[in-house]
């Protein structure tokens, strides 16, 4: 008797499309959408663990979006692990399993707890960016402060990530915009004075700028 794995891959993928988009609380913060719709994610994870055939089909879908943040679904139950430690662990995991790197098209992280005494997570993140040839969307929450901005700029110097077309950054990371030359949609995560100024000089091909506020536009002038 035919079973689920016997269905054509195209039909299985069409079925999955009927589930809600794979959302997280990161999306709620950046895009203003609900962060509690997880049934699509749960279904795809279950399917990817059902058989080798379904794993080959659904594992790439499950890895399309990687959210390296604490959400309503993955907050620690026992020992509190810092965001920076979580970032370092996930980045190390991707480096150890390079076969999933080609699946990742959207990456959301936070650098909020990275500082001079804890810069390793940032280093691993920059290293992983170079391993993601199909990364299209990058969201960085939690801006770096003080000397860590210089550290990030130095770490990205000479590096280019041409596949990224949608970028969300806090204002403090304006110095790394040069590493993302093909951005078409730019999301400013805070007041964005520095990002607005840098982006006007660097990006003449941007289609959309999100979360721009009146203070930023008045201070920096029009985009064109």
Using CA atoms, how far residue 33 sits from 20, 21, 146, 199, in Å, is 12, 11, 32, 26
Residue 181 has pLDDT above 80, yes or no: yes
Q: Is 29 exposed, middle or buried (0-12, 13-18, 19+ CB in 10 A)?
A: middle
| Residue 219 clears pLDDT 50, i.e. is over it | no
**Mean pLDDT, rounded, of the chain:** 77
Centre a 10 Å sphere on the Cβ of residue 163 and count the other Cβ atoms it contains: 16
Q: How many CB atoms lie within 10 A of CB 22?
A: 19
User: Range with the lowest mean pLDDT among 29-38, 74-83, 125-134, 144-153?
Assistant: 29-38
Tell me, yes or no, if the pTM score tops 0.85.
no
Q: Which domains does the chain have, with CATH numbers?
A: 1-62 (no CATH), 86-220 (3.80.10)
82 band by pLDDT with thresholds 50, 70 and 90: low
């Amino acid at each position: 008797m035919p079973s689920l794995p016997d269905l054509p891959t195209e039909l299985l993928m069409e079925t999955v499309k009927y589930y809600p988009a794979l959302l997280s609380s990161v999306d709620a913060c950046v895009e203003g959408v609900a962060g509690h719709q997880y049934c699509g994610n749960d279904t795809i994870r279950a399917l990817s663990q059902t058989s080798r055939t379904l794993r080959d089909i659904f594992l790439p879908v499950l890895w399309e979006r990687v959210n390296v943040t604490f959400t309503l679904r993955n907050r620690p139950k026992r020992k509190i692990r810092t965001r920076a430690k979580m970032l370092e662990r996930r980045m190390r995991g991707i480096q150890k399993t390079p076969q999933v790197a080609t699946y990742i098209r959207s990456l959301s992280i936070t650098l909020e707890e990275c500082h001079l005494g804890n810069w390793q997570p940032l280093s691993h993140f920059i290293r992983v960016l170079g391993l993601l040839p199909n990364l299209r969307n990058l969201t960085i929450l939690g801006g770096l402060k003080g000397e860590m901005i210089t550290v990030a700029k130095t770490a990205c110097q000479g590096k280019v990530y041409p596949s990224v077309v949608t970028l969300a950054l806090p204002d403090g990371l304006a110095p790394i915009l040069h590493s993302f030359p093909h951005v078409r949609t730019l999301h400013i995560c805070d007041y964005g004075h520095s990002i607005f100024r840098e982006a006007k000089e660097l990006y003449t091909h941007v289609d959309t700028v999100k979360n721009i506020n009146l203070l930023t536009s008045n201070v920096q002038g029009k985009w064109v």
